[in-house]
Amino acid sequence: MISPDDLIALVRNYNPKTNADRVAEAYDFGEQMHDGQFRHSGEPYFTHPVAVAAILTEQRLDDATIITALLHDTIEDTKANYEEVARRFGDEVAMLVDGVTKLTNLQLSSRETKQAENFRKLFMAMSKDLRVILVKLADRLHNMRTIKAMRPEKQAQKARETMDIYAPLAGRMGMQWMREELEDLAFRVLNPEGRQSIIRRFVTLQRETGDVIHRITGDMRLELEKADIEAEVFGRAKKPYSIWRKMQEKDQGFSRLSDIYGFRVITTSEEDAYRALGAIHQRWRAVPGRFKDYISQPKSNGYRSIHTTVSGRDGKRVEVQIRTRQMHDVAETGVAAHWSYRDGVRTENPFAVDPAKWIASLTEQFDAEDDHDEFLEAVKLEMYSDQVFCFTPKGDVIKLPKGATPIDFAYAIHTRIGSSCVGAKVDGIRVPLWTRLRNGQSVDVITAEGQTPQLSWLEIATTGKARTAIRRSLREADRARFVKLGHELARSAFEHVGKKATDKALETAARALRASDVAELLARLGAAEITAHDVVQSVYPELTAGDGEEISPRRAVIGLEPGQSFERAACCQPLPGERIIGITYRGRGVVVHAADCDRLSEFEDQPERWMDVQWHGGTHPAAYGTTLELTIGNDAGVLGRICTLIGEKKANISDLEFVDRKPDFYRLMINVELRDAEQLHSLMLTLEAESDVAAVARFRDKPEERHFPG
């Protein structure tokens, strides 16, 4: 374990003005609080916070961040509390430690809805102080470096979480070195055979070709000296996971990959960076389409560099990055460069972005998302994105993620332009809206009055901003349709009891059913969130007392043609009370899908087969099969209690299948017969509250698992 003196020496290397006494006090306090605690490896637990602090010294971070690293587990795992940390080390450190504690408690790899909510909390914590996530990333890096001491199943869980969340987040923050190491450490756990095969092939390649890196580095230095350019040149083989990913993306074997080596040229000025590019292109042939200038068009996290790929010795392709020393510092530490110290003062790096502005730009679009799944989708799209730069006809630059389309470009300019887009010209040529944009293209958006976003645009758009705006517009359009449908349903229901759906009657119903106004009441009625019976009963309960007879399953759906039959789609198993869509089949009648069923995307180009249907608003019998997926503890009597709970909720079990049996848990599918979505919701809440139920979810087939014949 690093001693306090050695840790202080690491800080003094870049910050001679460090408050050594305060760092030493934090070291002693942390060691005292963790006394008697041990890691899975058997080492004293405090070796971990010290290692995290040491990782952060490599980024030359301020005293508050280093002290936070030493104390980051004290509030969670020891008798220390927020007040004591604040009293000893100040409010700034206490807030940072508390922020890291809250991040540690987030289960980012849990079920989707909870995962989305936890992602929202993660971004909120980042928005308060980005140093919280810097400590958390260093914490995860050290845990991954020492992961072998964990149980195999725990290793796999942490590695997947690292690959899915922490590595992309480090990359999005500009900390590419950390992203690469996190990915490779996770790769070592998730696919050790694949990683070893890459390493073995590297060894074989070096034996066959010699030290290619040394030769090419020497050649580059010689060319730069000839051009009288002062620069440092470094070369390296790419990480095993990076090569593995390229093999998967390009569907090529190792022997066919050409750009497995990377080189960096660090110059003293921006002018020399462009001169170095010229010298390299004069000596080696540039590969078309592999040039990116992030100096003139920086990434949003402050990254600046020139990227090019050239054909080197023996026709081998090599990637070259050219940048100044200040650009290199930002490229290594990303957003963290804002807090970097050198010679006792915070580094005045002109390329380091303001973290507050960066996180604001990152979270702006997410704040507009009301739906958890949409929020999660937007976060992941943003985190995993690489960027392309396109131009408006006036020459303004629009930054977009890789794979963006003219729809994304239009929404990036303004929501109004995106919503009224009818076409686009790319470099003067009319192109379809699904065209993928490339770096440097000029895009001219064509708009028309009266145009509104189409459902198919959700398949075309890639940015969170565009998809959010499209969904909002579609919801508003749906709302107008539902209000109109709700008004007709209310009129019919009131006439059924000899009354009229007057404004006063509807206002009374809105208050009784806790709708904000009549429009919301009618929209909920049209969307089948409430029934027409509920609306009438809220105003005239005495006239609806005898309306509780059950609706026959044969006439449960309204909106069918005379003589048409229907069946529930097996993929989504819609229930009364849920929004539904009908799809017509020749010889089969109508198959009813839940409105959010993934299967519906297959019919977007066949609008003539869609039917606007809804469930009957009356009382339904418990006759609608729904499959639940449960994970329960493997203890005596657990299954019996689960079956009893289901029976108490007036649901009948029609089938039960065990799909996974482990020593400590069972995973099973239970088919239950239910009345409606409300009964399903009540049943799932009851099951989730049972201590022996680890997970419960409504099972729905994915599109690739089941197919309806057309």
52 and 141 both lie in a single domain: yes
Co-location of 27 and 118 in the same domain: yes
Q: What is the pLDDT of residues 124-178, one digit of tens each?
A: 666 567 788 889 999 999 999 999 888 888 898 889 888 877 887 888 777 888 8
pLDDT for the residue numbered 122: 63
Token duo for residue 82: 């927020």
Residue 574 lies in a domain: no
Q: What is the pLDDT of residue 704?
A: 43
- Span 245-299, pLDDT tens digits: 777 665 555 555 556 778 999 999 999 999 999 999 999 888 887 888 889 888 7
Same domain, 231 and 266: yes
Same-domain pairing of 247 and 301: yes
- Is 332 annotated as catalytic? no
Cα torsion 186, 188, 189, 191: sign: positive
Residue 659 · residue 618 · CB < 8 Å: no
DSSP H helices in 19-148: 20-33, 47-57, 63-71, 74-77, 82-89, 91-105, 112-128, 131-145
Whether residue 509 is contained in a domain is answered as yes
- pLDDT of 314 strictly over 70: no
**For 201-210, how does the pLDDT look when each residue is reduced to its tens digit (9 = 90+)?**
777 777 766 6
Determine the structural domain holding residue 248 and report its residue range. Answer: 194-346
Average pLDDT of span 304-327: 85
Please tell me the distance from the alpha carbon of residue 29 to that of residue 19, in angstroms, as a whole number: 16
Q: What is the DSSP string of 390-448?
A: EE-TT--EEEEETT--HHHHHHHH-HHHHHTEEEEEETTEEE-TTPPP-TT-BEEEEE-
Question: Is 280 contained in some domain?
Answer: yes
**Which of these, 93, 47, 98, 103, lies nearest to 75 by C-alpha position?**
98
- Residue percentage of the chain with pLDDT more than 90: 24
Is residue 587 a part of any domain in this protein? no
Is the pLDDT at 710 greater than 70? The verdict is: no
**Domain-terminating residue out of 190, 210, 232:** 190
On whether both 122 and 46 belong to a single domain, the answer is: yes
How many Å apart are CA 364 and CA 361, to the nearest integer?
5
Give me the mean pLDDT over the 615-631 stretch: 86
Same domain for 493 and 420, yes or no, is no
Residues 9 and 100 in one domain: yes
Q: Is 181 found in the same domain as 37?
A: yes
Q: Give the CATH number, domain containing residue 183.
A: 1.10.3210.10
Confidence of residue 90 (pLDDT cuts 50, 70, 90): very high
pTM exceeds cut of 0.75: no
Give the domain-ending residue among 439, 458, 477.
458
8 and 134, same domain (yes or no): yes
Residues 109 and 146 in one domain: yes
Q: How many domains does the chain have?
A: 5
Copy the structure tokens of residue 477.
């359009």
In the listed set 495, 517, 542, which residue is the last one of a domain according to the structure? Answer: 542
Q: What are the tokens at 392? A: 């408006």
**Residue 577 DSSP label:** T
Which residue among the candidates 21, 35, 63, 76 is catalytic per the annotation? 76
Mean pLDDT taken over the chain: 82
pLDDT given for residue 500 in this prediction: 86
Q: Which of 58, 77, 223, 377 is catalytic?
A: 77
**Helix residue ranges per DSSP H, 517-668:** 518-526, 532-539, 638-648
Q: Measure the CA–CA gap between 649 and 644, rounded to whole angstroms.
A: 9
Is 145 found in the same domain as 13? yes
77 is catalytic: yes
Q: What pLDDT digit, counting tens, does each position of 419-439 carry?
A: 999 999 998 899 888 898 887
Residues 180, 208 within the same domain? no
Residue 327 lies in a domain: yes
Domain at 397, CATH number: 3.10.20.30
- Per-residue pLDDT, averaged over 574-583, amounts to 89
pLDDT score recorded for residue 427 = 85
pLDDT band per the 50, 70, 90 thresholds, residue 707: very low
- The answer to whether residue 140 sits within a structural domain is yes
